[in-house]
């Protein structure tokens, strides 16, 4: 007993002595880390200082975060840094900064942040959009490039022209549902060029199943809204770190049964696989029977020996236009309707151009494009005025330490090219809130002439850009040729002022009626019989 007391004495005394020294060591370590972090932070682009561990997450609204980004860019400069949790995030607020980094240095700026939930658990690293810059992504990208490069995209014009006529017919008969008709158009183009099958209605299972897959990929608690608005909300949740497991990846080390966050996406993954493999096998069968028109899936299957891709990899790769090409196209067309409601003088000017070039006896065709510079400018201005990929689509990630204009950009930073802010930069686009197609006609800047800005940057630039532009030009020219887009009238026959933002329709039914856009029937001779 006595021996035990004496033995324990020195340890007790020692621990009394060591406690302050352990605390001092700990404090010194904390101080060292704080100094190190602060000096690193100071060398990074300016931005609001956040809270340790949380960073600036609490300052970033869940809805329309691009507005906050733009505010920070105005306050701190073209390149801003913040932290989301412990991840450094760089926000680019001018086109020049985005071109300098994402294009000129695209060898290190073309990766993606880690999307643990949507990219890994839900999609098993098979959705290229969320893949880092690696061999899998390059293979996936090759499939899309071969299906949608500029010359290939031209071969789809016949399909787009036909679908556009169907859309016109539907708008003519049921103008109130114009948003659905635009969505059907976009969906049918995508399914035709991808799977060689048309879509007659957005209620068809193939569209619904795809919507559900998208909704689960970008789940949001928001009620169902119009296409474009939903797309914008969904984009906001592609901010990495939204899910707990992305801020704390160590959760993946828990026993699988305790990883509660897996259950739902894993169930959904199986459903997605069944859906995508069904579409894949259907194309294979039709290839076998010689009943399939030329389409992306058939081409990719035919090249499988060369590419070495598995059936499932092909099934996922060819489904990318589903996720990326429907809501973007339909949303941009919805924005165009909104712009015409706000800027009727633009509509009149465009209609004058159409009258002079096309006349009333036939519809505008692709061959008229070169003679319709104002219509082309309207397409560009629509993409600029309310860019549907407001945050630049999915963010990039940088894979090596870098320096830009004396500012340190650490490896692993998430990079947002904040397209909404960039498109409203008053230096590049004077009077940015105005819808002024003329800005694209009066310029001599080649980057304004080609205007690829709405489609992203560098090696990640939108592979569906040419298909999308062809969809936009044909629909914008035909809608303006055939219809007057006028504000709805309220119960007292007064014009209802359209909403400010992306969709003329907020989700609420009351408001929907109040701000309903009314597209008057065809007011021009000879219009109906060509439909
Ligand atoms: C108006 C229509 C469209 C707009 C505004 C648009 C815009 C964008 C933007 C901003 C990006 C991100 C680029 C970046 O990370 O720098 C993107 C990526 C992408 N887009 Fe589009 N897009 C449209 C239509 C389409 C269509 C029709 C398709 C398919 C045929 C498509 C397929 C894709 C794919 C697969 C990606 C991911 C590329 C990658 O991660 O490598 N998009 N798009």
CATH number of the domain bearing residue 408: 1.10.630.10
How many domains does the chain contain in total? 1
Centre of ligand 1 to C-alpha 279, Å, is 22
Q: Is residue 529 part of a domain?
A: no
pLDDT for the residue 4: 54
Residue 508 pLDDT > 60: no
Going from the Cα of 299 to the center of ligand 1, the distance in angstroms, rounded, reads 21
How far apart CA 113 and CA 238 sit, in angstroms, is: 10
Residue 332: predicted pLDDT: 95
Tell whether 188 is covered by a domain. Answer: yes
Structure tokens at 58: 């609490």
Top mean pLDDT of 3-12, 59-68, 386-395 is at 386-395
Range 219-258 burial, b when 16+ CB lie within 10 A, else e: beeeeebbbbbbbbbbbbbbbbbbbebbbeeebeeeeeee
How large a percentage of the chain has pLDDT more than 90?
A: 65
Distance CA 148, CA 193 (A): 9
Say if residue 228's pLDDT is above 90. Answer: no
Establish if 230 belongs to a structural domain: yes
The closest residue, in CA terms, to atom 16 on ligand 1 is 456
Q: How confident is the model at residue 433 (pLDDT cuts 50, 70, 90)?
A: very high
pLDDT digits (tens, 9 = 90+) for 292-308: 999 999 999 999 999 99
CA 94/CA 356 separation, integer angstroms: 38
Domain range enclosing 191: 45-520
Q: Is 462 annotated as a binding residue?
A: yes
Question: Is residue 50 over pLDDT 50?
Answer: yes
Domain contains 199: yes
Report which of residues 287 and 516 the model is more confident about.
Answer: 287
> Is residue 24 a part of any domain in this protein?
no
Report which of 439, 105, 417, 109 is spatially closest to residue 235, judged by C-alpha positions: 417
State the helix-helix crossing angle for 178-195 and 205-217, rounded to 10 degrees: 90
| Residue 342: pLDDT over 80 | yes
The answer to whether 432 touches 423, Cβ cutoff 8 Å, is yes
The burial class, CB within 10 Å (0-12 / 13-18 / 19+), for 125 is: middle
Closest ligand 1 atom to Cα of 459: 41
What is 135-190 written as a DSSP string? HHHHHHHHHHHHHHSHHHHHTTHHHHHHHHHHHHHHHHH-GGGHHHHHHHHHHHHH
- Per-residue confidence (pLDDT) for residue 239, from 0 to 100: 63
Residue 38 pLDDT class (50, 70, 90 cuts): confident
- The answer to whether residue 32 sits within a structural domain is no
Residues lining ligand 1, CB < 6 A?
A: 128-129, 141, 144, 148, 320-321, 324-325, 328-329, 332, 388-389, 392-394, 396, 454-457, 460-464, 467-468
Residue 22 falls inside a structural domain = no
- Residue 28 in any domain: the answer is no
Q: Which of 59-73, 467-481, 491-505 has the highest mean pLDDT?
A: 467-481
210 falls in which pLDDT band (50, 70, 90)?
confident
Question: 515 in helix, strand or coil?
Answer: coil
- Gap between the Cα atoms of 66 and 269, Å rounded: 30
Q: Would you say residue 530 has pLDDT above 90?
A: no
Place of tokens 């060292």: 32
pLDDT class of 489 with cuts at 50, 70, 90 = low
Average pLDDT, the chain: 85
Indicate if the pLDDT at residue 160 is higher than 50.
Answer: yes
Q: What is the mean pLDDT of residues 374-382?
A: 98
Q: Which pLDDT score, from 0 to 100, does residue 426 have?
A: 97
């Amino acid at each position: 007993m006595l021996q035990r007391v004496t033995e324990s004495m020195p340890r007790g005394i020692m621990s009394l002595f060591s406690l302050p020294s352990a605390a001092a060591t700990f404090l010194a370590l904390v101080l060292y880390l704080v100094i190190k972090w602060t000096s690193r932070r100071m060398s990074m682009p300016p931005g609001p200082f956040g809270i340790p561990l949380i960073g600036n997450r609490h300052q970033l609204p869940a809805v329309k975060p691009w507005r906050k980004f733009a505010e920070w860019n105005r306050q701190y400069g073209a390149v801003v840094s913040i932290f989301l949790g412990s991840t450094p995030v760089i926000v680019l607020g001018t086109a020049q900064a985005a071109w300098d980094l994402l294009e000129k240095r695209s060898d290190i700026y073309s990766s993606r942040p880690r999307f643990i939930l949507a990219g890994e658990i839900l999609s098993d690293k098979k959705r290229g959009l969320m893949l880092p810059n690696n061999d899998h992504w390059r293979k996936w990208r090759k499939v899309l490039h071969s299906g949608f490069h500029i010359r290939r995209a031209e071969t789809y014009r016949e399909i787009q022209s036909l679908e556009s006529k169907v859309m016109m017919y539907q708008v003519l008969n049921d103008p109130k549902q114009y948003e659905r008709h635009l969505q059907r158009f976009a969906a049918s183009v995508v399914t035709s060029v991808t799977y060689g099958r048309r879509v007659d209605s957005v209620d068809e299972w193939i569209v619904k199943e795809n919507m559900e897959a998208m909704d689960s990929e970008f789940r949001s608690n928001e009620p169902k809204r119009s296409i474009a608005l939903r797309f914008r909300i969904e984009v906001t949740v592609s901010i990495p770190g939204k899910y707990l497991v992305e801020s704390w990846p160590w959760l993946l080390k828990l026993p699988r049964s305790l990883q509660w966050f897996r259950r739902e996406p894993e169930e959904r993954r199986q459903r997605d696989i069944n859906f995508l493999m069904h579409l894949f096998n259907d194309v294979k069968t039709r290839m076998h029977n010689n009943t399939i028109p030329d389409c992306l899936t058939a081409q990719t299957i035919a090249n499988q020996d060369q590419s070495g891709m598995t059936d499932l990899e092909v099934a996922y790769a060819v489904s990318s236009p589903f996720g990326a090409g429907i809501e973007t196209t339909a949303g941009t067309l919805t924005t165009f309707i909104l712009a015409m409601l706000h800027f009727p003088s633009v509509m009149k000017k465009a209609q004058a151009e159409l009258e002079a070039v096309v006349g009333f006896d036939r519809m505008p065709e692709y061959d008229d494009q070169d003679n319709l510079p104002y219509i082309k400018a309207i397409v560009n201005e629509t993409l600029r005025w309310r860019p549907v990929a407001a945050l630049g689509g999915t963010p990039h990630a940088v894979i090596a330490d870098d320096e830009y204009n004396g500012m340190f950009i650490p490896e692993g930073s998430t990079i947002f090219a904040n397209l909404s802010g960039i498109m409203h930069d008053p230096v590049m686009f004077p009077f940015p809130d105005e819808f002024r197609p003329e800005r694209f006609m009066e310029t001599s800047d080649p980057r304004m002439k080609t205007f690829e800005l709405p489609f992203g940057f560098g090696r990640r630039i939108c592979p569906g850009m040419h298909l999308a532009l062809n969809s936009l030009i044909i629909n914008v020219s035909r809608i303006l040729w055939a219809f007057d887009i006028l504000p709805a009238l309220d119960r007292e026959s007064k014009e209802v002022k359209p909403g400010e933002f992306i969709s003329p329709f907020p989700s609420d039914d009351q408001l929907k009626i109040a701000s309903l856009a009314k597209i008057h029937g065809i007011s021009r001779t000879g219009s109906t019989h060509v439909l």
